[in-house]
């Protein structure tokens, strides 16, 4: 039914307009108690076997909404109603900003992918902090884990980036179940330069100090989100830095600026658009980065797999590769409101058919099997 609606309606609308329209419907439904309860029961049935503990937090399952969908924390209850086990809002910047000029969001339907060059359009950390505080002070329809993804304000020079992130941290840390430092969007000039360890070390240290100072008595988990376009040695360097600094997690990965080698079927007019590509074509590279990270850090920090996840098989593969949590966004655009339900049901079935008692037992199982394989088998592989 959703696929028919997508083909007849959404596919012919500007993608950004369609996003705002669909998101408005979700938020409206979440405000009506009877409808909200009905939809949550239909779209978000809970599977006891999928209960997950990560970052010191308990969640109904491992599957969350990636940052970018709800930039301003206006629809957390609506997304929880649809079955997301955690909702990561943002990216939020210290100052409000309109983002890049439109048109800035493109569908690659043949590839089940998106290209965006939104440019961190958001209302700013002060407004978002006030909204999160009001939600927490009231009675949220759903108790769900809320992550807050923060980035650099576009007009702030790279030399002042640390102070910019600290401002957002001071405003938002108290309202976040976890914080994510985004240094990997391709749509803010100079942002990806901050992934270099020499820049990343002081940035993460300053954010950690600001979070601890702002929220005394509670350690807000801190993660960093990296790009799939990092060279393997740079992935290793970020992994080593995360362990050195006692970081709580790494999110792998953001969107890619690559176009070659992804098997894209859409025409050059679409694939040639600048911006970050997300969705199915990103699957293999994101999985490679995740595997490399797990080989480097093991279970010392939490890994979050995102990028090209569409099916329960995709999600299960990320868990076996080392992800404790998984996230999606682009798949939701193409699969519709029953996506989370199908993914959870499929994950529960795969866990039941596996030799693992819990999801936690399955995390990184592929890497452990490879380590346990006889040397001859490794050489043959």
Q: Residue 308: which CATH number?
A: 3.20.20.70
Asked whether residue 234 carries a pLDDT value surpassing 70, the answer given is yes
Q: What does the chain come to in residues?
A: 381
Is position 149 annotated in a ligand binding site? yes
Least confident stretch, 46-50, 186-190, 249-253: 186-190
**Residue 72 φ/ψ region, left for φ over 0, alpha for ψ in the -120 to 50 degree band, beta for the rest:** alpha
> Region 260-289: what's the mean pLDDT?
97
Domain extent, residue 51, equals: 2-380
Contacts 24+ apart (CB under 8 A), 70-74: 70/23, 71/121, 71/122, 71/123, 72/122, 72/123, 72/127, 72/128, 72/131, 73/128, 73/131, 73/132, 73/135, 73/146, 73/148, 74/23, 74/27, 74/131
List residues with catalytic annotation: 185
Does 121 show up as a binding residue in the annotation? Answer: no
Tell me what pLDDT residue 91 has.
98
- Binding site annotation covers 275? no
Cis amide prior to 91 (ω within 30 degrees): yes
Poorest-pLDDT segment among 37-46, 182-191, 293-302, 370-379: 370-379
- 3-class DSSP state for residue 147? strand
What does pLDDT average to over the chain? Answer: 95
Within 10 Å of residue 20's Cβ, how many Cβ atoms? 12
119 labelled ligand-binding: yes
117 is in an annotated binding site: yes
Q: How far apart are CA 208 and CA 205, in angstroms?
A: 5
Mind listing the pLDDT tens digit for each residue in 288-345? 999 999 999 999 999 999 999 999 999 999 999 999 999 999 999 999 999 999 999 9
Annotated binding-site residue? 254: yes
Q: How large is the average pLDDT for residues 165-176? A: 98
pLDDT in tens, 37-82: 999 999 999 999 999 999 999 999 999 999 999 999 999 999 999 9
| pLDDT at 70 (0 to 100) | 98
Model confidence at 156: pLDDT above 60? yes
Task: Return phi, psi of residue 345, to 5°.
Answer: -60, -45
255 annotated as belonging to a binding site for a ligand: yes
3 state DSSP class of 79 = helix
In this prediction, residues 84-101 reach a mean pLDDT of 98
Total structural domains in the chain? 1
How far lies 98's CA from each of 76, 123, 139, 153, in Å? 21, 8, 30, 11
- Given a contact cutoff of 8 angstroms between Cβ atoms, the answer to whether 88 and 180 are in contact is yes
Residue 338 is labelled as binding a ligand: no
**Structure-model confidence comparison of residues 191 and 247, the more confident one:** 247
Q: Is 265 among the annotated ligand-binding positions?
A: no
Residue with tokens 């408005």: 24
Write down the pLDDT at residue 155.
Answer: 97
* Helices and strands (DSSP H and E) totals, the chain: 16, 13
Q: Phi and psi of 316, rounded to 5°?
A: -65, -40
| Residue-level pLDDT at 377 | 58
Report how far residue 88's alpha carbon sits from residue 177's, in angstroms, rounded to the nearest whole number.
10
Write down the pTM of the prediction. Answer: 0.95
Q: What is the pLDDT of residue 4?
A: 84
Predicted confidence band of residue 379 (pLDDT cuts 50, 70, 90) = low
pLDDT computed for residue 121 by the predictor:
98
Is 330 flagged in the annotation as binding? yes
């Amino acid at each position: 039914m959703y696929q028919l609606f997508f083909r007849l309606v959404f596919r012919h609308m500007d993608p950004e307009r369609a996003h705002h329209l669909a998101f408005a419907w979700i938020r409206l439904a979440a405000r009506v108690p009877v409808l909200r309860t009905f939809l949550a029961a239909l779209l978000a049935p809970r599977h006891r076997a999928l209960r997950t503990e990560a970052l010191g937090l308990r969640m109904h399952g491992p599957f969350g909404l990636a940052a970018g969908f709800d930039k301003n924390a206006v629809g957390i209850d609506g997304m929880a109603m649809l079955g997301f086990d955690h909702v990561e809002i943002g990216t939020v910047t210290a100052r409000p900003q309109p983002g890049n000029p439109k048109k800035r969001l493109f569908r690659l339907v043949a590839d089940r992918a998106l290209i965006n060059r939104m440019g961190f359009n958001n209302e700013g950390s002060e407004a978002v902090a006030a909204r999160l505080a009001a939600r927490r002070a009231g009675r949220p329809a759903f108790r769900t884990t809320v992550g807050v993804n923060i980035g650099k304000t576009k007009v702030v020079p790279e030399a002042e980036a640390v102070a910019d992130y600290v401002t957002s941290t001071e405003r938002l840390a108290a309202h976040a179940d976890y914080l994510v430092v985004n240094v990997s969007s391709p749509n803010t000039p100079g942002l990806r330069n901050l992934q270099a360890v020499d820049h990343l070390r002081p940035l993460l240290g300053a954010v950690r100090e600001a979070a601890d100072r702002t929220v005394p008595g509670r350690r807000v988990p801190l993660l960093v989100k990296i790009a799939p376009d990092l060279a393997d040695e740079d992935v290793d360097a970020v992994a080593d830095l995360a362990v050195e600094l006692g970081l709580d997690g790494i999110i792998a990965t953001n969107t890619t600026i690559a176009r070659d080698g992804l098997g894209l079927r859409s025409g050059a007019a679409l694939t040639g658009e600048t911006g970050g590509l997300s969705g199915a074509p990103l699957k293999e590279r994101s999985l490679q980065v995740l595997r490399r990270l797990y080989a480097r850090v093991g279970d010392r920090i939490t890994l979050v797999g995102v990028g090209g996840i569409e099916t329960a098989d995709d999600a299960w593969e990320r868990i076996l590769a080392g992800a404790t949590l998984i996230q999606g966004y682009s798949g939701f655009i193409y699969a519709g409101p029953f996506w989370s339900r199908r993914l959870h049901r499929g994950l529960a079935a795969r866990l039941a058919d596996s030799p693992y008692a819990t999801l936690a037992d399955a995390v990184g199982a592929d890497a452990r099997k490879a380590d346990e394989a006889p040397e001859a088998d490794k050489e043959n592989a």
